Structure formats: structure tokens, C-alpha cells
Structure 1
């Protein structure tokens, strides 16, 4: 059995796994880190791969020079992967959506199947060609097919480890394509050594030489920058970097910098209003805050605002150290708090920290984006509130925020806000919600119960602490807490009706947020009826559906088996 054919089987798995990791991460940026995109992408990957193996694979036996075709496809693979990356970064341009706009489910499904189609079809077809070639070179068909699967799996394992542990940390997507291209061109050359076919030998030699020559002038980096300008059109991309935890993009406009993680806007430099509001309302609710835990969002200046309250200690949790390193290159004033001896910066998962810490806090500030993803939803769940309650001192306070609107809440906004507020109320018996463009939900331990929406109390504490602010002032607080707004929000939250609690393993907040964003930007999904229908689905409904699909598949398989239809 030719070793070059087994090497080709290895290449199928190697390029498949690395390409899958690269494209999955690209799609996660397009879909703002939504884990649903991963499920759709894996499904699309399997579907297109099977179509390539089954539909295109039917032509494998009729190919006269199978070895040449295998080599040509190997040569084409890095180019197809590059096209797929460009396609992923151009999705919003194709669908005429703006950068930063959260995509609804229909766009998500269409994008995933479009981006992955060409690469997966090619890999599926290549696998069949290699399997048929290996099988025809041995006396035992089962042995040849078995070795093809073995080497394909080995390539996938090594490719996955290499990409996850090294390539993603060190290289941009197009530099990773260069690595895959090098392996592809060398494999095509090795496969043609016994055959001396001039076309694949010439092409693989030419492209390998061009690839090597493209590294010194930084062609892969320039391709990465160019494709980033397409993805973030209308913005000047200052930096686009991958980390272990995802993708970080910095864009600029004049002297202002915008930071995005996995496509989600995190913060903007110089945004004093957001920095002040995320901190001062909750800090003023506590009569004497000393120990504070800040989870995320400190790099926009929130950390500086916390220190104005004369605290004794601030622990700041930021999961990704790469984000902090990049922020240091663009920000100065916003990061002054990091050099204060009262501040301790910890890079870890906040849920993990809260479960393990022996520290106790007067105030916990959750300064994270809305529950756009299952990972973010963990900080809005019943289980999280119980864990946070454990590390709060008597009278301790917790705060989080949800994007809202000033004077009117849509059905989707009401459902999300009521779910999170009611979930927090299950743990903290004293909960207040501040009206405005951002709703701040503040809860206090049972032994506190002195939260207020009275502007006079908050202004009094602001003056007592001699805090200098630009926005959250004695003039702005009464405007934010006008009686009509407070009364409207109270009626919304107290409206009779069933409210689903948000839990780790029943992330209804995640669903409500997705429904909310799908109702924006021409992507209406008739939020009320869709939410009512999906939330009405029970476990036994899903079990019945799985049983029916399995039964149909079993009967179809038996019929095909009787008709003698089989393949590799």
C-alpha cells in the first residue's frame, strides 16, 4: 500500500480539523459569540461533508487518473479555505447588515451553510477519492478502508492539537492557512513522486515557492488586514487578534477606540457616561462600601469610578489577559486604577472565582454585556445569584444591567427584564430596577433591605463622599429617576402572569435576548408568538420528535439494505 496515499488520508483529517477550528472562530465573531452558531456550523459541516462524499463520491470510480485529481484537490484546499474565511468576513456585507449588528436566526442559518459549503464539499469528495485509491491498492477492501479512517483520524487529532495549542495563539487565520498550504503542497508533491505527473508537480512546486516568498513581505498579515476592513467596513481597524478565549478587535474613530470581543461590543474609550452609570448607582445604594468585586468592564474607566468612593479593596476579574494587554496600548486614563495598590487584577472565570474565594464583599458589580450568549447568561442565572449571595457581607449589594429604552419597553424587552428581575428576587428579597436606556437591576441581601429609588438619598451620599462626576450628578440623577418612569417600570415588573426563571441549564434569558435582537433591524420573528411557542416546548416533546426521526431512519436504513445499496 503506497505510503503517500496514507499521507493523503492524514492530510484530509489534518486540514479538515484546522479548517474547522479557524472557520468556527470566524463564524463566532460574525454571530457575536453565540453558541447556537457552533451547533449550526457542526451540523452544516457534517451535511456538506456527507453530500461531498455521497453525491460527488459517485464519480470517484469513473475518474481515470485518480491520483492526479487527489493532488490537484490538495493543491486547491488552502485557496478554498482562504475563500471561506473571506466569505465569513463578508457575510454582513452580503446580507446588507451593518458591522456590530446582531443577526437573527434566518441570517445565521443561511450564512453558516453558505460559508462552509465549498470547503466541506471538497473535503468530503477528497476523502472518498483517497479511500477508493487506498482500497484498490490492497487485496482486502476492509483493511484499506480501515487504514484510511485511521490515518484520517490521526491527522484530525494532530491538527486539532496543533491549532488549539499553538497556531491560534500565535498566528492570524491567513498565516494558519499558510501552514495548511505548506502541508498540502508537500503532500501533493510526495504523492506524485512515483507517477511523475508534470501538472500537479509543477503547480505544487510553484505555489510552494510563492508561499515561501510571501512570508517575508507579510502577505498573510496584509490579507488579514484587508479582510478585516471588509468585515468592519466604515470603521478603521487598529488591531485584530485571536486569543485563547476568542477574537479581539479594536477600531477607531478620531481619538476614540472601540473594543469588541467575538463580535460583541465591549466598551468605547472616553465613554464616561457608561463608566459612571455602571458604578455610581449601585455604590450609592450602599451606605459604606469598602470591599468591591468588579466583574468585567473595568477597562472603560469603571475601575477609576469605583475608587472614588474611598473603598479599601477592589478585586477586578477580567477573563482574557490579551484584552488587557491590547487595551494598555491604546488607553491611558481609563487604566489608571490598575496601578492603585487597592486594586487586584485577576484573570480567571468569575464564576470559578466566586465558587472558590474566601473573600467577602460589600458590593458586586456585574459589568458585562447582555446575555447574548450562554456563557454570558451564566451571570444572570439563579445559580449565579446564589453563589454571589454567599460571598456578600451582611447588607451586601449586587448590580447588573440590561440594555433597554427610556420610556417604553417592547414585549421582548419586558419578557427579558421580568425574567432577570424575578430570578434575582428569588435570592435577594430587596430588588430595585432603575429606568432608562440601560436598566440597572440591584439586589440586596435579606439583612439589608434599604435600597431606594429616592434621588435625594443618592445625591446626599454623592455629596458626603465628595465624588466628582461628569454625568451622574445632583442634576442628572433626578432626571433618571423621574416618578413617571419609575412608576411605569414598576407596573411592567408587577404585571400578573407567569414569569420563567433564568437558570444555568434552562437559559430562558439567553432565549429572550435572542428574540429581542431578532426583533430589531428588519429581522422580526413575531417575538410574542415565537417566545410563547418555544417556551411552551417540553422535554417529552423533544423526546417524541427524536423517537420519530430515529424510527424513520431505522426503517429507511433497512429498506436501503434490502435493496443492496452500500458504500464506503
Structure 2
């Protein structure tokens, strides 16, 4: 058997998979730019994308019975390409259209509603393709049409994710990558599906030319409109963030997605970020700054006469370039070096020690940034500090009011620090500073005032009048009492990102949302109830279907569960990879590539060769269960980066092979049971796969990980796989 890519349906399936993946990644990144970019937002966006795709496949399974012309595929491709572009523009202008300013936080209810509307059209059309392409290839009298189309689409998607990452690395942005992908798809249609000159010319004028014009003239103009009333300066995407520079009131601000990363010209912020930490050390010589280090921050650090070396570490090369360009920084001091690496990886590998380490990172609004506020990170910082060294952490605060949830959030960060640092001190304000050390730390006003004079610090704001207010005994004592009387005992760690949980609650509280009571109710449920409850919930649908002799319902339920397991496990393992190996963008892209490649391999190579084996489905599901258990063990017991990274790649490849093997097997079992045409059965099964994956995206990223942590999430996924295994074994034994 040969996989002949010269066949039109296969070429189109791969191309559509490619463009669909580019579209998904482009819209997901745009969602982070439009709203707050955390796992909950991404889970909603990805879940909506997959859900509407599944609905489209379900509709296609009905329509394919009535019409199977290749002309339908051509029409769908034209609608798909234009729909992607139109709704990309709609989402870009969403705040402008709805009158919501850039500075306004958007709640979960509006994110849910808006993304559901925006993703509807392109995703439903995307889902329609699968059954029509299977039907088309079936007419070509090729064997295994389902396996071939599934493999072509999956591998096309895998290539789409890889090329998207590559295009970002060479300097293109999502807008450009999406346009180039759609343009390539339209050109392919013009060559492959249109034969006569006149229709080709019409297609070129009305479909290809608008994409070219949008690509050439659209981008800068839409950003200027989007960022009003601010003066838009520049835009660039890095693998980690979308970076926008805007000017307002003669000050430049760099935004990372929807979060302001740094504002130039605000001296007070730079001074307090640096001097609270450095004055707390009697004689700082070496300083490490984790996060961006603009020139004005470096300038403040070198005001201290004893400082002879400054190192900044953060992973984003493009962000570093944008910061330097915005600050017009041409300096090349031998005392200052920038390390472009993941901070946890750097701290693990470096042998140098520091007197002061300053964390200049956004608050833990997502799992990635939460890593910098965990016991794992603080332990590595502790190892890199000299005796008497100081760690400074900045947290959002308030001059007037701190809610109980805000206090609990700060208490958790303090608890986490105190697992490795015996002494901590709080400095209140709009930005709250938390200092940690192995030795006593003084926040006495007189000590700070004297050190400013002894060090001859020529600061603009960081003077006695400023310190008398910030270091007022009553203010410090009030904040300390609020935190010390809080009964929260949890700590923030990589496998249980409680900091991300509380930050999500604070975001929801600020936007008047409904997440807080839901999260808090779920948080109070003990594991002894969560795990058996989930097992019973997963088993109930199988129990309900056992009496049916028709294999189709249980086959669809199995595919639904496998979609859930695959998406959930992939989401968890990407986070584990970031935690153990580092936030290496290409590494994360290759994780997705591994899963998709495995799925294609299982569908086209393994499934046909073992299709006559009576227990292939049960054996494949058993392998899925073993791999989920292996993921749990790897997460708990493996900390070595190389071992963890290779283990995660291997698990994703193997679980992709298993699910890729099962998809055609379950589809054909369902088809034989119902006497349906293959194209219709494949569309239905594809829909159930998408429905399960959508549920996995919603629950895993939106609830399981932030509320219960990674270990509990993997336990829930394992219980789901056990119920699928038991359900299929019992069903098969009963009706053999």
C-alpha cells in the first residue's frame, strides 16, 4: 500500500489541515492580545475552536449523504479562507467595536460569548471538510480512504504548527502567516480544482487579489485603529508574546499581549523596584534581575557604588530587542550582561552567586509566569544567593483596600518563600515588595535614610519624604497583621499552581464574574470524593449503553472519551515540559508535532495491518491507560530535564499512535453496525472526537489544573482511561 500524495483529495486534506492549524494558532494568539492571556482564556478559545469544528463535522456527516461533488469542497475552501480573514479582523477590532478600552479588564462571561461568536463560522466550515474529502477519495477507488484522509489532515496540521513557529522565528507575525497560508491554499485551488482560463481569472481577481491587498495594506492600519487613543509605534511577535509599543503622554509603553510590561519615563517605578532590595543588603556587589532590564533600571542599580556586575535573564530575544530599541539603549557596559534563557534553566545550570536577586516579572496570571513564584523557583534562587543575600518579589497591591482573596494570595507567596527563606519582610503600597533572606531584614526608615546618604544616591523620588510614607511603622504593621492572621497554609508549586488559582479569582473579582464561587466550591471538595465521583461520572454513559446490541453508540462514546484524554494529556504534558525542561518554544511546538505525527502513523500504518485482530481496540485503549499512568509517574519522580523531556516526547508519540489507530477502527465498527456510508460515519466519529477534545480543553486548562493541580488532573485523566478500557472490554466480551 502506498500513500499517494498526488491524489487531489489527499493534497487538499493536508493543505486544509495546514491552514486550519495556522488559523487556530493565529486566533489563539490574537485572543491573548485581546483579553487576558492565561490558561483559562486559552482553554476557552481552543475549546470553542474544537467544539465548532466538531459541530461542522456532524453537519457534514448529514450533508454528505445528499451531495458529494468536488465542487462542494472548492466552495467550502473559498468560504473557509474568507471566513478566517473576516473574523480575524473582527476579533482584532473587538474592543473598538464594543467600546471597551485597552485598559479595561474583560470578564469570563464576555470572553466566553465573544469567542464563541467569532469562531463559529470558520470552525464549522473547517469541520465540514472531513466527511466530504473521505467521500471524494472513496470515489477514486483507493483503499483505506478514511485512514488516508485522516493521516493527510493530521500531518498537514503538524506541518502547519511547525511552519507557524518557523515563520515567527524569522520575524513574521500571525496576521502575515495567516494571509500567506490562505493565499497558498487559494492558489492551490486555482491550479488543482479550476481548469479553464476564465474561471481562473475570476477566482484570482475576487479571491486571491483581496488577500494580497489585505496583506499589503491592512496590518499597520488596523493596529493604529485598535490602539486608539494611544499612538501606535510598532508591533512584533516573538514566540512567547505579541509585543506592541504605544506612546501616551510622551511615555512609551511595551505591551506583552494585553499586559503592560514596562513604561519608560516613570522614574518612581524603576527606583522603588531597585532600591528597596539593594539598600536592604549592606554591600551589594553582584545583582541578578529575572525579567526585562531596561536601561533605566540598570542605571538605578549602578547608582550603588559597590555594584560591579549586573546580570539579567529572560528567554525572549525579540522582547530584549524591542526593549532596547524603545529605550534607545546603545550601551555596552562590561558590568552588564543579558542572558537569553529560561530563568529556571539558567538558575539550575549557572555556578555564579549573587548578593541580590530581583524578580521583575508579571504577576502569576498564567501557569508559565506562575513558575517564577513557586517553591521550585525560590529553592533555585536560594542556591544562587550568597550568605545574607536578598530576594525581592513584587506583587500588585493597593493604597486603600485589600480583599480577603488578595491577602490569601500574598500569604501563599509568603508561605512558599518561607519553605526556603527563614526571614521575610513586607513593604506596602500600590506595588507591594516582599523581601526574603537567610538573615534578618530591616525595613526601618532610619536605616534606609542613612544608607541613601552613605551611598550618595542621587534619586528623584526615593528620598526621605517618599520613604517616610512607604516605611511608616503603622502601614507595615497593618499589612503584616492582615497576612499573619490569614489562615491559608497552602504553598505554590509547579504541580499545584495555587498562585495562578488565586490570581484568576482576583481577575474574576475585578470583572464581576462568576468564577470565584465555582472555583472555591470545587477547591473545598476533598480528593476522596473527587476521584470516585469522577470515576462514576465517567462510567455512567457506558453503563447506560451496555444493554444496546448496536456497537455504534459505545464506539462514539469511546471516541469522545479518547478525544478528551488526548487533549487533556497533551495540555498537562506541555505544562510539565515547561516546568522541567523550560519555556523552549520550539520544544513545545515539537510536542504537538509528536502527538500529531503519532496519530497519522497509527492511522495509516498500524491500523490497516492489525485491523483483523479481534482485540485491537481493547489493546490500544489498554496502551493509552498505561501511557497516562506513565505520565503520572514521570511527573512525580522525574526531575532531570533531559529525562523528562525525552519521556514526554515518547509518551505523546505513543499515545498519538494509539488514538490514530483507534479512530478508523471505531469508525468502521460504527459503520458496520449502522449500515451507513463510510463518509457519513467518518464525519460523525470525527465530530465525537472533537467534542471530547473540546471538553478536555475546557476542563483541563480552565478548571482541573488551576483548582486541583497537575497530579490530581493526571489522576482524573487516568480514571477516564480506565473507564473506557473497562467499558470496551465488558462490551466486547458480552457480544462476541
**TM beyond 0.5:** yes
Question: Once the two structures are superposed, what CA deviation does each residue of 1:235-285 show, in whole Å capped at 9, x if it has no partner?
Answer: 222111111222101111242111011221101110101100101011111
Alignment-derived partner of residue 551 in structure 1: 539
Contact 1:515 1:525 in 2 (8 A): no
- How far 1:399 sits from its partner (Å)? 0.4
Distance 2:552 2:82 in 1: 42
More displaced stretch, 130-139 vs 165-174:
165-174
Distance 1:105 1:548 in 2: 29
Alignment-derived partner of residue 72 in structure 1: 75
Name the structure with the higher helix share: 2
Partner of residue 23 from structure 1, selected from 24, 27, 30: 27
Alignment-derived partner of residue 491 in structure 1: 481
Alignment-derived partner of residue 250 in structure 1: 245
Contact 1:175 1:221 in 2 (8 A): no
- How far 1:410 sits from its partner (Å)? 1.2
Contact 1:77 1:184 in 2 (8 A): no
Alignment-derived partner of residue 346 in structure 1: 339
Partner SS, residue 337 of structure 2: strand
Distance 1:135 1:472 in 2: 75
Question: Once the two structures are superposed, what CA deviation does each residue of 1:38-68 show, in whole Å capped at 9, x if it has no partner?
Answer: 322332222111100002431122126x211
Distance 1:424 1:556, change over 3 A: same
Alignment-derived partner of residue 565 in structure 2: none
Partner of residue 452 from structure 2, selected from 443, 453, 462: 462
Partner SS, residue 181 of structure 1: helix
Between Structure 1 and Structure 2, how many residues are aligned? 551
- How far 1:128 sits from its partner (Å)? 1.8
Alignment-derived partner of residue 166 in structure 2: 165
- How far 1:496 sits from its partner (Å)? 4.8
- How far 1:506 sits from its partner (Å)? 0.9
In structure 1, stretches of 5+ residues that fail to align are: none
Instruction: List structure 1 segments (4+ residues) > 6 angstroms apart after TM superposition.
Output: none
Distance 1:496 1:54 in 2: 51
In structure 2, stretches of 5+ residues that fail to align are: 554-672, 683-736
Contact 1:52 1:123 in 2 (8 A): yes
Distance 1:249 1:23, change over 3 A: same
Distance 1:363 1:167, change over 3 A: closer
Distance 1:398 1:133, change over 3 A: same
Alignment of structure 1 residues 6-155 onto 2, 5 Å: 6-63=10-67, 66-93=69-96, 96-138=99-141, 140=143, 143-155=144-156
Contact 2:411 2:488 in 1 (8 A): no
Question: Once the two structures are superposed, what CA deviation does each residue of 1:205-236 show, in whole Å capped at 9, x if it has no partner?
Answer: 3246525863xxxx425322233245433222
- How far 1:470 sits from its partner (Å)? 0.7
Alignment-derived partner of residue 187 in structure 1: 188
Distance 1:80 1:549 in 2: 38
Contact 1:188 1:204 in 2 (8 A): no
Alignment-derived partner of residue 359 in structure 1: 352
Q: Considering only aligned residues, what root-mean-square deviation do their CA atoms show, in Å?
A: 2.5
Distance 1:485 1:236, change over 3 A: same
Distance 1:209 1:369, change over 3 A: closer
Does residue 331 of structure 2 align to residue 370 of structure 1? no
Contact 2:254 2:260 in 1 (8 A): yes
- How far 1:416 sits from its partner (Å)? 1.0
Question: Once the two structures are superposed, what CA deviation does each residue of 1:348-376 show, in whole Å capped at 9, x if it has no partner?
Answer: 11111111110001100001111111111
- The two structures have a TM-score, normalised by structure 1, of 0.91
More displaced stretch, 415-424 vs 80-89:
80-89
Partner SS, residue 27 of structure 2: helix
Partner of residue 227 from structure 1, selected from 200, 222, 230: 222
Alignment of structure 1 residues 284-299 onto 2, 5 Å: 284-299=279-294
Does residue 307 of structure 2 align to residue 304 of structure 1? no
Alignment-derived partner of residue 310 in structure 2: 314
More displaced stretch, 367-376 vs 106-115:
106-115
- The two structures have a TM-score, normalised by structure 2, of 0.71
Alignment-derived partner of residue 386 in structure 2: 393
Contact 2:412 2:488 in 1 (8 A): no
Alignment-derived partner of residue 502 in structure 1: 492
Distance 1:131 1:233, change over 3 A: farther
- How far 1:191 sits from its partner (Å)? 3.7
Contact 2:171 2:236 in 1 (8 A): no
Partner SS, residue 475 of structure 1: helix
